[in-house]
Structures are given as structure tokens and as C-alpha cells.
Structure 1
Amino acid sequence: MAMANAYLTSSFTSIRLRPSDFSAVKSFPTTKSHLYLLVSPRIDSTSNKNVMMCASVDGVNSISSSSFSLNSGPETDYVPMPIVLIDQDTDPDATIVQLSFGDRLGALPDTMKALKDLGLDVLKGTVTTENSVTQTKFFITRLSTGRKVEDPDVLEMIRLTIINNLLKYHPESSERLAMGEAFGVKPPEKKIDVEIATHIHVKENGPRRSLLSVETADRPGLLEIIKIMSDINVTVESAEIDTEGLVAKDRFHVNYRGAALNSSLSQVLVNCLRYYLRRPETDEESY
């Protein structure tokens, strides 16, 4: 049995072979109770699968056979959902930007630099891991004022800057992001129908404000809806702007002259936003 350079990481085991041993290098998932070793590598011609042996590390001489298909990649080929969340509610003094891409994110110094290049001050950053998903949060303010970001144009620049960095430093994310259609190495397999994907709801959230929920296919220029609300004298108190892969899910606390929106104004707002979202996508140069 010939085998070279076998090594174990914290999440999976990889077996490296000489070209004479096997034509492809594969990574195999492991658990705490199993260590996968490729013993006598060969191809099963009847099923086009590579046959390997599994030796249990918590039993004695427990050997069983297993196989994986050469036509389908290992579990590590799975591309997680990229999520960019802009939170205007949680902190009264700062805009919180949260970014997650499975467990593939690093320290993100380039993202921090890109935010600073927008005239923003990154007050602090936190990193947490939950269910193998790494979530990075940046607490940011306008460098010129020391206050949270209110301008919808700047909020959109923040969102698109982070997505552009994802596409640049994690090119595999392009197949999961709407922006990957124009700028990614691999566009999404499916493009979401705006008409089908768009859902807009307004409901009361107390006597003095309403909650507006907008879900639609992601694209540049979405935060123009804040300006549309301003044009009909609807005030945006706070916002949560959530980009999940191909879909944007935004929530706004709004009021009209200090009161919740009545049914007539709510319908006007919904109609205006739906009309805007049905329009052809913004020119690519707006990216």
C-alpha cells in the first residue's frame, strides 16, 4: 500500500497521493469517530466510484468499505449563502454592517479599508461563530460627523462595496449573488423573476409608526426606495437592509407626520414602490 503526505485538519481529512497512485486529489469529510484512509485506491468500473476503506478510531479493528462518486464533488464544494446585513436599529450611535459567508471569511482587512475609503470610520469589529457560520460585524459612523450613516446613497455604496469585495476575494460567491451575473466568475444558475419575488407589506407598529417590509430580487439601486418614500412625505425612522444571496429583504420603520400610515397612504406607498421595482434594472455603471 503506497500513500504519501496524509494529514488531518480540524474539520476534514485530506489524503494526498502521488500521480501514480491516483488521478485526482480529494478531500473527505470526517467526524470525531472516523478517520478516512484511502487504502488500495482503485476505480470500480461498474459504478464509476472510487473504493476506499474506513477505519474507526473509537473501535478495535473496525474496518468497513465506503465510496464516493467521481462525478459529484465532496461536501466542501458547497457554496454557502452570502449575507450582507445593514442594521440601523440596534445601536443608536452607529450603523452596524454584518457580513457572513459560511466559515470562509477571514479578518477582512480589505473590507475595512474599502469602508474607510468611503469616508467612514470603523469604530470596532466583532467576530462570532454560530453553527459553523462566521459572522463579522463592523460598527461604523461618518468620518465627517461621527454619527451613523443616514444618507441612502451612502448606505447603498456600503452594500455594493461589501458585495464587490465578496466577488473579488471570494469569487465562488458569484454563483450565489445577483451581482455575479455581471461581475462574477460564475453567474447564478437561475435569475429571480422580479414580479414573482417582490412582496411589499405595510402594517401598524404602534400608534406612531408603521413597519414596511420589502422583499425583492436584489439589484443595484434598491435603496432608492428611501428617496421614493421621502417624495410622498413618508419619514424613515430606521432601517434593516438585508441582502441574502439573490434576494433583498428590507424592513423600515416609517411614519407620516409623526403617526402610523393609514390604509390609503399605505396603498399609495406600496404602489409607488412596486412600480419602481418593476422598472428595468439600473445601468451596470451604477455598480
Structure 2
Amino acid sequence: MAEMAVTAALRPCSGVSPAVSGTSHRRRRPAAWRALAPPPPHAGLRLSSPAVRVPRAASSAAVEDGSSSNTDTVPTPKVIIDQDSDPDATIVEITLGDRLGDLLDTMNALKNLGLNVVKASVCLDSTGKHIKLAITKLSTGRKIGEPELLEAVRLTIINNMIQYHPEASSQLALGATFGPEPPTELVDVDIATHIDIYDDGPDRSLLVVETADRPGLLVDLVKIIDDINITVQSGEFDTEGLLAKAKFHVSYRGKPLIKALQQVLANSLRYFLRRPTTEEGSY
């Protein structure tokens, strides 16, 4: 498959990933995430793909645009993986104040995962520079469906961000894994974890999870949901500094979750998230 040339133009931001409330997803088109279990009536996520190696950046010394910032205040790094807004591509938005370069090394690292950046845009607003990438799989030309690959995309972008902007390391939970400087403050998981479930139309519910970030969190969340036979139709996964925020459209046999099942799901997630070292066999 031929790769599309990527051009990025600097422009004012308009509608850059607004914060999601319990009803703001209703007008969005459902994304085609792959099924976790035998295919239910609606498309969902799949967890059967092999482990994906996260490539490292080519250089840890240079900044991609050839510049660096010496200001004392480091902005909060943000990586948003959006499966809702585009039916044909996975949208990734990256923000680090005004410090980001063109992310050419990041795009090359994504190609090593078997992905193609079909479109890139850069815009500015009061919070800084926002870089948006539309990503598809090279093998199919379609958006990413496997949660393992989505997590590999997230870790690849964060790894490259830390490599080229090491000052961001202490602002990210994953700085302890990828970066030269771990976070100076640890997040209390009990305090940081919030789980809410809302009705979101006649055939689905909206699950909102906020918790302390860690590697593999996206895959873990999807597996917990799948373990109680709930289907993830689409969603968004945001990394904001030390925290992770997930918004999943979920259903049970093509219907919204009833109150009893909502409670089971919330309890399962809360139990796992507050015990991040619990082995899978004891869960």
C-alpha cells in the first residue's frame, strides 16, 4: 500500500479534543474496534494479537525541531488516542505546551509498528501546540483495532517525547519506565481512581475511568471489561501527566448496562486498579 505524503501546517486550533461529558459522545459515529470474544452483535475490541515491541527513539540527545526550552515550568504532557471521531483512522493528539517539534522520529517509530500516518496537522491555542496524527494499519489501510497495538502506540509516543524532551520525564508516570528522571510525586491510586457509568442512548452506556497511569493500563482495562462479557464498542484513552483517563462506549448483548451490571463492572475495575500488582491468576 502506498503511503500518503504528510504535510503539517501551523494554524489556530478549532475543536481540539474537547473534554467529554456523559452525553457529549452521543452524536459521534461508532468506531470499528475488534471483538474480544466470539463476535457479538456490535463490533468490539480484540485481545488476541501478539505482544508488540515498543521501538525506541533514534536519538536521546537532539530535540526534533533543533530547539529546547529552558523555562522552569514544564507543561503537562498529554497524549490522546481517539477511536471515536474518525471512522477510518485512529486519531492521536499530542501536546507538550509549545515545546514539541515535528515528531518526525515519532512517525518513523510508528511505521516500525506497521502503521501509516496518513494525515498530520499542527495548531496553536492558549495551551500550546497540538499535533494531530491520523493513523492506519499498513496491512489493511484501516484504523487500529487491537488494544495491544493501541497501547504500543501510546508507549511509543511517550517514549519518544521523553527521549527528545527529557524535562517531561518527571511529569509522566511512565517516566519511571522510559525516562531519566522518575516523577517526584507519586499518585495515591485510591484517591486518583474514579469510575462512572452513564446511559448513552438506547444501545450502549458510557464508562469513564480516571486513575494513576502505568504501562499496559489500556490493555488491562479492556481485559477486565471483557472478563465480565461486556463489549467495548469504541472509546478514547487520554494520558495527562501522571493520570490516565478512559472513556469507553460499552454494551451487554447490544443493550446499555443495567444498574446491577454497572455495579459489577465498577467493583471489578476498582478492585483491580487499586491493586496494580495483583497477579492475573488471583484476580
TM-score greater than 0.5 by the shorter chain: yes
Alignment match, 1:267: 263
Task: Return the alpha-carbon distance in structure 1 between the equivalents of residues 231 and 112 of structure 2.
Answer: 29
Shift of the 236–156 alpha-carbon distance from structure 1 to 2, 3 Å rule, reads: same
Alignment of 1:79-228 (within 5 A): 79-131=74-126, 133-223=128-218, 224-228=220-224
Task: Return the alpha-carbon distance in structure 1 between the equivalents of residues 110 and 188 of structure 2.
Answer: 31
Alignment match, 1:231: 227
C-alpha deviations, 1:221-265, integer Å up to 9, x for none? 111211221222211111110000000011001111111000011
Return the offset for 1:101.
0.3
Shift of the 144–225 alpha-carbon distance from structure 1 to 2, 3 Å rule, reads: same
Counterpart code for 1:166: M
8 Å CA contact 1:152, 1:227 repeated in 2: no
What secondary structure sits across from 2:116 in the alignment?
Answer: strand
Bigger shift: residues 259-268 or 184-193 = 184-193
Alignment match, 1:246: 242
Return the offset for 1:182.
3.5
Gaps of 5+ in 2: 1-68
What secondary structure sits across from 2:71 in the alignment?
Answer: helix
What secondary structure sits across from 2:223 in the alignment?
Answer: helix
Could you say which structure has the greater relative contact order, defined with CA pairs below 8 angstroms and 6 or more residues apart?
A: 2
8 Å CA contact 1:219, 1:281 repeated in 2: no
Bigger shift: residues 185-194 or 121-130 = 185-194
Provide the identity percentage. Answer: 60
Shift of the 249–151 alpha-carbon distance from structure 1 to 2, 3 Å rule, reads: same
C-alpha deviations, 1:7-30, integer Å up to 9, x for none? xxxxxxxxxxxxxxxxxxxxxxxx
Gaps of 5+ in 1: 1-73
Alignment match, 1:15: none
Report the RMSD for the aligned CA atoms in angstroms. 1.7
8 Å CA contact 2:161, 2:168 repeated in 1: yes
Return the offset for 1:206.
1.2
8 Å CA contact 1:238, 1:254 repeated in 2: yes
Task: Return the alpha-carbon distance in structure 2 between the equivalents of residues 104 and 211 of structure 1.
Answer: 34
Task: Return the alpha-carbon distance in structure 1 between the equivalents of residues 278 and 156 of structure 2.
Answer: 16
C-alpha deviations, 1:126-155, integer Å up to 9, x for none? 000111500001100111111111111111
What secondary structure sits across from 1:271 in the alignment?
Answer: helix
TM-score normalised by length of structure 1: 0.70
Task: Return the alpha-carbon distance in structure 2 between the equivalents of residues 204 and 177 of structure 1.
Answer: 32
C-alpha deviations, 1:102-161, integer Å up to 9, x for none? 000011100001111111111110000111500001100111111111111111111111
Q: Are residues 1:277 and 2:273 paired?
A: yes
Shift of the 103–202 alpha-carbon distance from structure 1 to 2, 3 Å rule, reads: same
Count of residues in correspondence between the two structures: 210
